[in-house]
Every structure is written in structure tokens, then in C-alpha cells.
Amino acid sequence: MQILPPEPAAIRAAARALREGQLVVLPTETVYGLGADARNDLAIAAIYAAKGRPRFNPLILHVTDLAAAEAIVVLPPLALRLAEAFWPGPLTLVAPLRPNAGVSSLALAGLTSAAIRVPAHPLMRAVLAEFGGPIAAPSANRSGRLSPTTVEACRELADVALAIDGGPCLHGLESTIVSLTGPFILLLRAGALPREQIEAITGPLGSPEGESEGELKITAPGMLASHYAPDTALRLAAHDVRAGEAALDFHGQLAGFATRLRLDLSPAGDLTEAAANLFAFLRTLDSMGARCIAVAPIPDSGPGQGLGEAINDRLRRAAAPR
Ligand code: TXA
Ligand code: MG
């Protein structure tokens, strides 16, 4: 995989590779994405192969603006209000697919809805503009592994034409996914946009559990219990660090315990900073050969910041038995 510095030549090269049906690793404000032309079945098949991803798990489509999104999906009034408030940014909307949307049905896993977002990262936006079409891009990791927040973390993927180095991702957590396909608006995946900010516009969000919409059951985003999995076991809500354990701390709660390695997601207790550090710190601790990683308790929310829900969601999946 060739890693290019963030320069105009890299943007042109990425757009060219996409037109040729190749895979490219692209920075976004959430995590790095593995991009392909969303209209090209062969290119989409290559994404699933490179990630080792189950074919029934559909991909997020990235477009430049609201008009490009509306060419693919039908956005109900509430979706339009969310788009106005949060696009470009870390919000993905699932909405009914338009007939003749022109998107590979493999990218949609055959569903009649599509997940779509307008990313904010200037490099991703430049590639979208230069390419001129929708880019399907899941996170650029092997399926079930930690999402990449630096370009180096994407090296585990084979068959990628090139990568653009955009530095560390701003949010470090995937986008928040909201579904507007049925009578209720549902939170499918907690993510970089806190629930409270969405609910300020929509009112309370439903959750897919208990909904009878069969479609949501199969597609529940990253909802396989074990997802985002490091090799090392995790012990959550730890109040101590035991022999042989590494420590993933928050706000200095585990600072007093002896360990070969302790990384603090945010010594100041800031959940935004913690989210940005989460996957990179988990990767580092995972590579240390510890028996287990003790993870300090992380509040579900803090003053003015609602990212705790998404951080705890990723930690629970990372800790799930597999
Ligand atoms: O921040 C992000 O969203 C990153 C960056 C690269 O944009 N992308 C990302 O994609 O996280 P991925 O493929 O790792 O996660 C997409 C999730 C999947 O879990 C999938 O199940 C869900 O979106 N999804 C896609 N289409 C859907 C649909 N029509 N209905 C319900 N869920 C859908
Ligand atoms: Mg992913």
C-alpha cells in the first residue's frame, strides 16, 4: 500500500484509482475509510474481500452534499433537518433508496434502504469532488477489528492501491447512525455525534432492539456482539490493576497502580479527547502482550459532552467473549 502525503497530486491519484475500480484508504473526521466507487460492483466486492467482511453487512455511502444524497435516497422532513444541522459531519442517515439510484446493490447488501453521509474532512471532500460520484467506505480495518484512526493502522489491509495520510482523525469514533426508514426514528449506532444533539431536533430516539422491522435486525450496524476486538482480553470498569495487566485509564483513576503500561484516554476527564484516543490506545496496549487490559470506568456522559455512550458501546464490544 502506497501512502501519499496530503497534497493535490494525492487527491488526483485517489480519484483516478477510484475511477479504475481500485480501493483507496481515505481519511475522514471519524475514522479512516476504505473507499471504492459505490456504482462499481467489482470494486465493492473487493472491499468485502479486503476486509473479510460478511456480505450481508451493507456499506456507508459518502457524498459531497445534500443534493447528491437526495439523488440516492428519499429524505423525509426530519432527515432534512438533521442534514441541515449536522452535514458535513459525523452523522449517517439510513433512508429509503430511490429507484435507479445507480448504486451497486452489493454495497447495499440488497436492501431497499441506504446509509449515507456527507463527511467534513477536507481531504475526503476534495477526493469526492475530484471523483464526482458516491464513495462507499467502511472503516479501513479487517472486519471485527479495531477501527483505524491513523493511516499506519490501515496497513493490515491487502489489495489497496493507495492511502492518503491525513494525520490522526479528529473524532476517532465512527459516525452516529440514525434510521429514518420506518415510522420511528432509531439510533442504530452511537457515534461521534452525541445522542443529545440529535434528540434536541428529533425528540427521543428509539432503539432497534424490540423493533419488529426485520430489515434492521439483519443489518444492525456493527451490532455483532464482538466487534472492534483487540487480541488481549479487556476487564471493564476496573478499579484496580492486577499483576500482568496493562491499563487503559480515564481521568487518572488507575494512576496509583503498578503496571508496565498505563495510557490515560484523558487525564483531564474530557470525553471528546478520550474518544479521539480510544482506538489508537487500545491498539498500542493490545500490542504489549499483557494478560489483560484493565479499563477504568468511563461515565456515560459528562458536562456538555455526550460521547461516553459511544465510547462505552465500543468498549463493551471489544470486551465481548469471542
Ligand atoms: O464514521 C463512519 O461511519 C466510517 C467512516 C469511514 O465514514 N464508516 C463506517 O462504516 O463506520 P462501516 O461500514 O464500518 O459501518 C457501517 C455500518 C454497518 O455496521 C452497517 O451495518 C450499517 O452501517 N448500515 C449500512 N447500511 C445500512 C442500512 N441500509 N440499514 C442499516 N444499517 C446500515
Ligand atoms: Mg467498521
Q: How far is the CA of 222 from the centre of ligand 1 (A)?
A: 8
Ligand 1 atom index nearest CA of 191: 1
Across 261-275, average pLDDT: 94
Predicted confidence (pLDDT) at residue 73 exceeds the cutoff of 90: yes
Confidence of residue 210 (pLDDT cuts 50, 70, 90): low
Predicted confidence (pLDDT) at residue 221 exceeds the cutoff of 60: no
Give phi and psi for 139, each to the nearest 5: -60, 145
Q: How far is the CA of 51 from the centre of ligand 2 (A)?
A: 10
Across 252-276, average pLDDT: 93
Ligand of minimum distance to the alpha carbon of 222: 1
Predicted confidence (pLDDT) at residue 195 exceeds the cutoff of 70: yes
Q: Give residue-wise pLDDT tens across range 277-304.
A: 999 999 999 999 999 999 999 998 776 5
Mutating to test ligand 1, I would choose from 118, 160, 177, 215 the residue with most ligand atoms within 8 A of its C-beta, which is 177
Predicted confidence (pLDDT) at residue 213 exceeds the cutoff of 50: no
Q: List residues near ligand 1 (CB under 6 A).
A: 28, 30-31, 33, 57-60, 92, 94, 111, 113-115, 137-139, 174-175, 177, 188, 219, 221-222
Confidence of residue 165 (pLDDT cuts 50, 70, 90): very high
Across 259-287, average pLDDT: 93
Window from 32-36, 201-205, 258-262 with minimum mean pLDDT: 258-262
Predicted confidence (pLDDT) at residue 214 exceeds the cutoff of 50: no
Residue nearest to atom 10 of ligand 1 (CA): 138
pLDDT on residue 182: 85
Looking at the chain, the whole-number percentage of residues with pLDDT higher than 70 is 93
Ligand of minimum distance to the alpha carbon of 30: 1
Predicted confidence (pLDDT) at residue 226 exceeds the cutoff of 70: no
Ligand 1 atom index nearest CA of 33: 6
Confidence of residue 186 (pLDDT cuts 50, 70, 90): very high
pLDDT on residue 216: 40
Q: Give residue-wise pLDDT tens across range 228-253.
A: 789 999 999 999 999 999 999 999 99
CA distances from 64 to 104, 211, 261, 276 (A): 18, 32, 42, 24
The strand pairing partners of 186, in sequence order, are 179, 206
Rounded to 10°, the helix 308-319/271-286 angle is: 20
Predicted confidence (pLDDT) at residue 163 exceeds the cutoff of 80: yes
Residue nearest to atom 20 of ligand 1 (CA): 221
Q: Give residue-wise pLDDT tens across range 118-137.
A: 999 999 999 999 999 999 99
Mutating to test ligand 1, I would choose from 55, 92, 211, 279 the residue with most ligand atoms within 8 A of its C-beta, which is 92
Q: How far is the CA of 140 from the centre of ligand 2 (A)?
A: 7
pLDDT on residue 259: 87
Q: Give residue-wise pLDDT tens across range 51-62.
A: 988 777 899 999
- For residue 217, how many other CB atoms are within 10 A of its CB? 12
pLDDT on residue 223: 54
pLDDT on residue 220: 45
pLDDT on residue 303: 65
Ligand 1 atom index nearest CA of 141: 14
